Each structure stands twice: as C-alpha cells, then as structure tokens.
Amino acid sequence: MSHGSILVVDDERGILDQLGGILRDEGFGVTAVPTGEEALAAVSRELYDLVLLDVALPGMDGIEVLRQMRMVGQTVPVVMISGHATAEQAVQALKEGAVDFLEKPLALERVLVTVSNALAHARLEQQILAERDEEEPLLTGVSPAVGELRRQIMLAAPTDSRVLIMGPNGAGKEVVARLLHRHSRRSAGPFVAVNCAAIPAELIESELFGHLKGAFTGAVENKRGKFELADGGTLFLDEVGDMSLLTQAKVLRVLQESRFTRLGGAHEVRVDVRVIAATNKNLEDEISAGRFRQDLLFRLNVIPIRVPGLGERPQDVPLLIEEFMSRFAHRIGVSPKRVSPAAMGILQAYPWPGNVREVRNVVERLMIMVTEAEITPAALDLTIKDAGQASDGTFTTLKQARVRFERGYVERVVESCGGNMSQAARVLGLERSHLYRKLRALGLRTR
C-alpha cells in the first residue's frame, strides 16, 4: 500500500522540521506550511491523506481552519497538535471533526501510532461507505460449469495476479470479481468497481485518476480517482474493452509503474492495487480492428476466467429464482411466492438472453406484479418476453408452449452435459430409461 501524502501546519520551524523528518523517513510525502491561511490554500490545490494541524497559529487558529475545511466539504482526516490545549479546545476540535490530538513535545512513537490510526480509520470509513448497500456476492448453481468456475476462483484469488474475466452481459462477471477479492490477501482493503462503458470518454480519465479543482470545465472540487480509492485493495475495470486508446495508454503506465498524476496535478501518486478486468468483447478482434492495445491485453490477461452464460447451465435456473425471490422478499418485508411446477418448467426452458441479470429483473417484476401467492404460467405471459410465442409470432396453446419449452430445456441440459445421458438424467431428476423415452416423445435424437 502506498503511504500517502500529509500536510503539516505549524508556525514553529522546529516542529515542521521534526514532523517532516519523521514522516518522510516512513515513506510519506510531506507538505509543510506555517499558517492557517496557507493550509486552506494547500488543501484547495491538492488532495492529502491526512492533515496535522496546530491549534495555536498566527492569524487564523487551527480550530477555525478545521471549521472552514469542513464547511467547504473537505473530509480529509485532521489530527490537532497543541502544547497547551484546554479541555474545551479539545472538545471543540472533536466537534468540528478532528480525529485525534497530539501533544507537544512530540514523541516519535506517539506520532507514528496516531498517524497510522488516523489513516486506517479513514480507509475503514471509505470501505464502509462503499459496501453499505452491497449484497453478499453469491455464485449460485450446481452445474458442472459453475463448479469449474468456483475452482478457478479459489485458485486465482490468493494470488496478486491480474485476472481478465470474460463472458456475456449479465452473466455475473462482477460477482466473480468480488469473490476473487473476498478470498484474496487484500480482502480487508477496498473493492472499487468502475464501469468503463457507462462513463463518457471525456470523463473516464478523471474517474480513474482523479482531478484537482479547475483541471477542466466542471471540475469544481478536488476528487480522488478509482485507482487511488482502491489503494491496498482491488480495482475492478468492468467492460474494459470500451476504454479509448488514450485512456488505455495511461492505464498501461499505471500497471507498469504503479503511479500516476491526477488531472491538473503536478505530483505523482503511488498506489498498490490489484486490477481485475472484465469484458463481453473478443479483445483479440478489437486488437485486429485497432480499438484495443495488445500490450494492455498482455498486462491484464495473466489469468483468464470465462463466466458461462445461463444457457449453458439451465439446471441452475430454479436455484437462482429461489435466491432472488428470497432476497427481494426480505428487502420489501413479504413472504416469497411459490412457483408452480408448470411455471418453473417454462422458466427453465426460457433461453434467458440477459443471463443472471435478467433472472433477477424477472423475479423482481413477479414479486411486484403478481398479487397471488403462487406464480402460474399465466403470470409469466406478462413478465417474460415470448414466453408462449411461436417462432412465427402467433401465440400457442398452453399445452403447445409447455411441449416447446420442455423440448428446448431437455435439449440444452443434454448438451450442457456433453451428451452424457446418465448425468443429464440426474440433472433432470429422471431415470435414465425415462430420459430416453422423453427424448423420443419430444422428437429429439438419442445418442
């Protein structure tokens, strides 16, 4: 993890030299100023990880400096310094948002412990804010494809190697990234995700590397980028194939050197970040088309992991429906609904072009739109596109729809099992001989 930058504010030259020496020896970048006015100017120009602020300053005192910092939205942790602070001053400083107090004369060990605790507290607060609304990442399924995916995650997670996750939209690439982080040595650090496809090209560099106030039109305040926020943890670059070539070049430099400069800034920021990337594109094709850098692919694709689409694991559909039903019911404070066998057959046979994300959306709609306790095939007509529609656009009878969905489902299960009839029969919950009869009845070939 990078040590970060610290602003020291004190009017005593000896204190500035002493603190500067101690902190630089520990690897911190240090800026030292003697007045409160200069401190406010410094925090408006640069982003600091910590401020050590003397209470007794000429002109504007430390308490007023802290108050003004908080009034303009500066959230950097502040440790107050004083040789003769009263209890009233200490209480006032804490009310204004100081995280700790250092008393003069300064002791080396006390300074280092206080700085370490303040930085750790700030990182913990950032992590709590980032994870407040997140759900536990779960890789749901019993299919061979999910079993193999779990195996790859557990092998790759403990390493610090970069991972490139490939797979269709909605298949669960971010879930895989979160599990890689959760089981890594960096799990106590932050997990920061950025969707490269959702951010306009002109803003992606600011989003990744941060900026200083006035760096461009609309930059009204200093901002840390995703690389900096992920320091000590994992940065997940989703849809990395959508980055511009210019941004790719800058990301490549960070991967090579572990440092970058914020937009509008002059100082390099060092970071210790594990990068996990994901894409739904064929990056080799993108390289051939001149839209992706081959050297960046080499850097990102140390460990490739492919996430299967839901069409490759239809036997996992009931488990996913049950999981999302339970989660959504808990969120809105109601009981989960029952899914009738006929409706579940349709849900399993449906191709799910949107993959796991589509399952989640469908379950949420069912929980909201279906007022009965049981979900029947009739309810699905309003929820799943083409649930009972033939290829020519006409709607079939329920019996015809069931046969068509059953045929598609059984065929996909057999294919996902590689033609192994014993395994397919177990997945379908049928005797092997019954499966053969079912295949013949549905007009499917037996092997």
For the segment 395-447, what is each residue's pLDDT rounded down to a tens digit? Answer: 445 555 566 667 777 777 787 777 888 888 887 778 888 888 888 877 777 65
Question: Is 303 in the same domain as 319?
Answer: no
Q: Do 16 and 78 lie in a common domain?
A: yes
Q: Residue 119's CB: how many other CB atoms inside 10 A? A: 19
Same domain, 221 and 300: yes
375 with 340: CB under 8 angstroms? yes
**CATH number reported for the structural domain that contains residue 399 in this entry:** 1.10.8.60
Return d(Cα 193, Cα 211) in angstroms, integer: 18
Give backbone dihedrals phi and psi of 50, rounded to 5 degrees, phi first. Answer: -160, 145
Based on the fold, state whether residues 335 and 428 are members of the same structural domain.
Answer: yes
**pTM (two decimals):** 0.68
Q: Once rounded to an integer, what is the mean pLDDT over residues 281-309?
A: 96
What would the pLDDT profile of 36-67 be if each residue is shown by its tens digit? 999 998 888 888 989 999 998 998 999 999 98
pLDDT higher than 60, residue 317: yes
Pairing of strands 234-238, 274-279: parallel
121 CB-near residues (< 8 Å, 6+ apart): 77, 99
| 17/71 same-domain check | yes
Mean pLDDT of 370-384: 80
Domain-embedded: residue 243: yes
152 and 42 housed in the same domain: no
Report the pLDDT value the prediction gives residue 35, as an integer from 0 to 100.
Answer: 94
Of 187-191, 280-284, 299-303, 433-437, the least confident: 433-437
- The answer, yes or no, to whether residue 391 has pLDDT greater than 80, is no
Domain harbouring 109, CATH code: 3.40.50.2300
Between the CA of residue 436 and those of 16, 50, 414, what are the distances in Å?
84, 70, 11
**Do 236 and 165 belong together in one domain?**
yes
- Residue 394 pLDDT more than 80? no
Q: For 395, which DSSP code? A: B
For 159-191, b/e burial (b = at least 16 CB within 10 A) is eeebbbbbbbebbbbbbbbbbbbeebebeebbb
32 and 100 part of one domain: yes
Domain match, 180 and 253 both? yes
Q: Which two tokens stand for residue 5?
A: 């930058």
Token pair recorded at residue 120:
């750790």
Among 267, 187, 175, smallest CA distance to 232 is for: 187
Dump the DSSP string for 160-211.
---EEEE--TTS-HHHHHHHHHHTSTTTTS-EEEEETTTS-TTTHHHHHHEE
Domain termination residue (choose one: 308, 323, 342):
308
Q: What is the pLDDT of residues 72-115, one digit of tens each?
A: 777 889 999 987 766 677 778 888 889 888 888 888 898 999 99
**Residue 220 · residue 261 · CB < 8 Å:** no
The pLDDT mean for the chain works out to 86
Number of domains the chain contains: 3
Classify residue 85: in a domain, yes or no: yes
* Co-location of 19 and 75 in the same domain: yes
Pairing of strands 338-339, 29-33: unpaired
CA distance 426 to 171: 24
317 and 289 part of one domain: no
Q: Are 81 and 10 in contact (CB under 8 A)?
A: yes
Least reliable range by pLDDT among 239-243, 292-296, 412-416? 412-416
Same domain, 152 and 256: yes
Residue 429 domain boundaries: 312-441
pLDDT at 86: 67
Of 275, 291, 308, which residue constitutes the final position of a domain? 308
